[in-house]
Amino acid sequence: MKPLQKILIVGGGTAGWIAASILAKQLQKADGTPSSVQIELVESEEIGTIGVGESTIPPFLEMLKNLDINEQEFIKYTQASFKLGIQFTDWRVKGESYFHPFGTISAGMKEYTFYQMWLKSFHQGDNFALQDFSPCNVMAQNGRFYLPQLADRTAIGEARYALHLDAKLVAEYLRKYAEARGVVRTEGKVMEVVQRDDGGIAKVILRSGQEIAADFFIDCSGFHALLIEKTLGASYCDWTHYLPCDRAVAVQTENTGDTTPYTRATARDHGWTWRIPLQRRTGNGYVYSSQFCSDDEAVNTLLNVVDGKTLIEPRVIPFKTGVRNEIWKKNCLAIGLASGFIEPLESTAIHLVVRGVIHFMRNFPDQDCDQALIHQYNRRMTMEYEEIRDFIVLHYCLTEREDTPFWRWCKNMELPPSLQEVIDYFKVQGGLPEMIDALFHPVSWRSVCEGMGLRPQKYSPVVDEMNYPVMRKGMLEYRDAMAEFVKKLPTHDQFIRDNCSAY
């Protein structure tokens, strides 16, 4: 064994500090003292961070828990608000909205049985809205919030939530966390990367002349991809032919009215806009395709649709959807934007950062960086990227809009074969292929399919063997009881004021 002595992380955005925090926590000794593997992070204030990335999904809270971070304290520090899902407006046709909730939709039954019962009810002539059975959706539509873990055994006990947060404050918080656990931070701009004879990385040289050597490097330099691409030449698998949006313009605005406990994703002529409410301000952006829309038009569109007064100048961010063919190459691992990017429609990038570090821990190398570890890591992470890609494409390809060239393109696009297979299977009687460790569970696929107007042609004959009238009655009682229960919960703003206000 030749254990790693030192890991150098290049970049201190969300990715860099998440990687530093997880490594510092997981590698610490049993008595809580810092790991014998030295961890250093170099970042450049002059370059700065991307500064967007403010909507998360529920596994983010698991990460906080695994780091022993107090959720309430974290929420106050990052001025976070709660997120119960995403409201999609104008995606299938203009004038229509649907909700993709977290948590289950089960009306107290097994999820699959409920969905099949619900399908049967539709085929028998009922028209119950699927989302009326989702605790997250019902809370969101009523602007209410309560922690499901404190309401176990109630109608909202199966809800889940995530956070909207300020990306800069997250990096700041995690920096303190990691530094307190022995991570050394160095300020400076990397000007040169020196390679070893075997092609791996030996050291980086900062503008100050300081040299930092390590035996393993984590490239968290964002879209710069300083080590993985510019030094090691790892190529990029471009998915623009599936997801043509390649730019975003972002702007922050003052809050107006109540903060919604959900992200809004509204389809526009050449892409979609996001609206992410935090405690003290709102994050907004327009994700669009440069094939169909100029930067000036995108900026104007965004400024016309935001609610409050703008707090900063709009900023255009170009990106390329895809994933690096080798996320881990030799003694260098890319995490975050350096490893790949899929547009933020389902807020998955920070999640991929965490997954990137988790899989690294599972394949933690010694100085040899065995190729078998590297191969399995790259295979697994590519699968995670592909799963997310397919789920995002689903939101576009089912559109019925033909009012702009962008939407006509989406309606007629060629699908990834893996997604086509899911759609073909679902259409028959609502089945979904079983996947290992999938991020998006059947509730997510069903919610988006239903919202986009794709309903299975039949239901599973198995439900004909069940006591349909009794189960149908139970479903409706559950729905009505939940609606009543939710009305008694605090509003989202009230819940924040009472429990985790940043003020």
Rounded Cα distance between 370 and 186, Å, is: 29
Q: Which is it for strands 6-10 and 38-43: parallel, antiparallel or unpaired?
A: parallel
Q: Which is nearer to ligand FAD, 271 or 365 (CB)?
A: 271
Please name the amino acid found at residue 170. V
How far is the CA of 183 from the CAs of 168, 289, 356, in angstroms?
Answer: 19, 40, 19
Q: Print the binding letters for residues 291-320 with ligand FAD: x by CB under 6 A, - otherwise.
A: --------------------------x-x-
Tokens matching residue 424:
């073909």
Q: Which is nearer to ligand FAD, 377 or 478 (CB)?
A: 377
Give yes or no for residue 384 binding ligand FAD (CB under 6 A). no
Binder of ligand FAD out of 21, 55, 260, 447 (CB under 6 A): 55
Say which DSSP state 491 is in. B
Three-class secondary structure of residue 322 per DSSP: strand
Beta strands in 241-378, from DSSP E residues, in sequence order: 247-253, 263-268, 271-277, 282-288, 315-318, 322-324, 328-329, 332-334, 340-341
Rounded Cα distance between 36 and 28, Å, is: 8
Q: Which is nearer to ligand FAD, 344 or 451 (CB)?
A: 344
Report the site for ligand FAD in 257-286 (rule: CB under 6 A): 285
CB of 117 to ligand FAD, least distance (A): 34
Q: Print the binding letters for residues 165-194 with ligand FAD: x by CB under 6 A, - otherwise.
A: --x---------------------xx----
Give yes or no for residue 22 binding ligand FAD (CB under 6 A). no
CB of 458 to ligand FAD, least distance (A): 37
- Of 220, 439, 170, 237, nearest to 337 (Cα)? 220
> Which range touches ligand FAD (CB under 6 A), out of 139-147, 176-184, 347-355, 431-439?
347-355
Rounded Cα distance between 349 and 388, Å, is: 10
Say which DSSP state 122 is in. H
Q: Which is nearer to ligand FAD, 147 or 205 (CB)?
A: 205
Q: Which is nearer to ligand FAD, 44 or 253 (CB)?
A: 44
Task: Find out whether 203 and 212 touch, Cβ atoms under 8 Å.
Answer: yes
Give yes or no for residue 11 binding ligand FAD (CB under 6 A). yes
Q: Which is nearer to ligand FAD, 248 or 443 (CB)?
A: 248
Q: Give the CA-trace dihedral at 142, 146, 148, 150, to 10 degrees.
A: -150
Residue with tokens 């619900």: 118
The length of the chain in residues reads: 503
Residues contacting residue 230 through CB under 8 Å, at least 6 positions apart? 193, 224
Rounded Cα distance between 386 and 371, Å, is: 22
Binder of ligand FAD out of 220, 227, 342, 475 (CB under 6 A): 220
Within 10 Å of residue 164's Cβ, how many Cβ atoms? 26
CB of 188 to ligand FAD, least distance (A): 6
Q: Which is nearer to ligand FAD, 85 or 336 (CB)?
A: 336
> Which range touches ligand FAD (CB under 6 A), out of 11-19, 65-73, 372-380, 455-463?
11-19
Q: Which is nearer to ligand FAD, 80 or 105 (CB)?
A: 80
Three-class secondary structure of residue 248 per DSSP: strand
Binder of ligand FAD out of 69, 84, 327, 350 (CB under 6 A): 350
Give yes or no for residue 219 binding ligand FAD (CB under 6 A). no
Task: Find out whether 349 and 53 touch, Cβ atoms under 8 Å.
Answer: yes
> Which range touches ligand FAD (CB under 6 A), out of 41-49, 62-70, 81-89, 193-201?
41-49
Rounded Cα distance between 360 and 87, Å, is: 34
Give yes or no for residue 64 binding ligand FAD (CB under 6 A). no
> Which range touches ligand FAD (CB under 6 A), out of 12-20, 76-84, 395-403, 412-420?
12-20
Give yes or no for residue 52 binding ligand FAD (CB under 6 A). yes
> Which range touches ligand FAD (CB under 6 A), out of 36-44, 74-82, 231-239, 425-433?
36-44
List of residues contacting ligand FAD (CB under 6 A):
10-16, 42-44, 47-50, 52-56, 167, 189-190, 220-222, 224, 226, 248, 250, 285, 317, 319, 336-338, 344, 347, 349-350, 353
